[in-house]
């Protein structure tokens, strides 16, 4: 069973009172409204030390605590490898499946938690992310200055990512560019393909075919 985590946050100043359930679903999108409602029913949420219910209204300034009940986490692949390490950076070959951060039913079973256990004297900052089912190099900064510098490199698109993928079926060898639009699902940390939204472009290079 995973050890329950206590998440603690002070509610920021609000323009007007907000229902507790609405605030949770909009601020912490890794759970749906129904999932947060269930957590409240189980007594996992407290405001200023007292168990809160659905009727609670947030004024701003309250202290929110979340302590989920112990649960069994799904297994993950923890066999990571260090590609590079210096005074500022730690580059890991991420295995799969394992999420980068604690999400939904994965709390202790995440790459960041695993690294924090293996490197207890380091404060690591993930510079970017890979999906749970994606393997490859991920960069962690060892200090705030390195994290800020590397973050700017990604923001300015000075970092280029290359993915190798197996494709089932007949892949068109003349395909050079994939273009699509992405929209975020309401109250969810996921994006879906849509007719409008954030433009995503992926350059494609056909390598080989195997029967």
Q: Which residues are part of the catalytic machinery?
A: 131
Give me 131's structure tokens.
């999906």
* Strand ranges in 53-107 using DSSP code E only, listed in sequence order: 57-58, 63-66, 81-85, 89-94
Whether 13 and 61 have beta carbons less than 8 Å apart is answered as yes
Q: How far is CA 16 from CA 9, 33, 53, 186, 192, in A?
A: 19, 20, 19, 22, 32
Per DSSP, helices labelled H in the chain are 20-27, 33-41, 111-118, 144-155
* Residue 36: closest CA among 12, 20, 17: 20
Q: How far is CA 104 from CA 15, 68, 77, 203, in A?
A: 29, 11, 17, 32
């Amino acid at each position: 069973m995973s050890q329950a985590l206590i998440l603690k946050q002070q509610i920021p100043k609000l323009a007007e009172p907000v229902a507790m359930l609405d605030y949770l679903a909009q601020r912490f999108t890794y759970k749906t409204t129904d999932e947060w409602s269930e957590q409240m029913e189980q007594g996992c949420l407290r405001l200023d030390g007292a168990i809160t219910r659905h009727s609670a209204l947030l004024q701003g300034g309250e202290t929110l605590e979340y302590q989920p009940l112990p649960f069994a986490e799904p297994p993950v692949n923890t066999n990571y490898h260090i590609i590079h390490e210096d005074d500022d950076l730690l580059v890991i070959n991420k295995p799969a499946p394992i999420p980068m951060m604690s999400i939904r039913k994965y709390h202790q079973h995440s790459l960041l938690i695993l690294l924090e256990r293996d490197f207890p004297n380091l404060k690591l900052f993930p510079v970017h992310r890979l999906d749970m089912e994606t393997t490859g190099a991920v960069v962690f900064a060892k200090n705030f200055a390195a994290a800020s510098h590397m973050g700017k490199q990604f923001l300015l698109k000075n970092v280029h990512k290359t993915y190798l993928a197996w494709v089932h079926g007949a892949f068109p060898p003349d395909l050079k560019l994939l273009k699509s639009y992405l929209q975020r699902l309401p109250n969810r940390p996921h994006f879906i393909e849509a007719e409008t939204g954030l433009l995503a472009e992926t350059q494609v290079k056909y390598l080989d075919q195997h029967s």
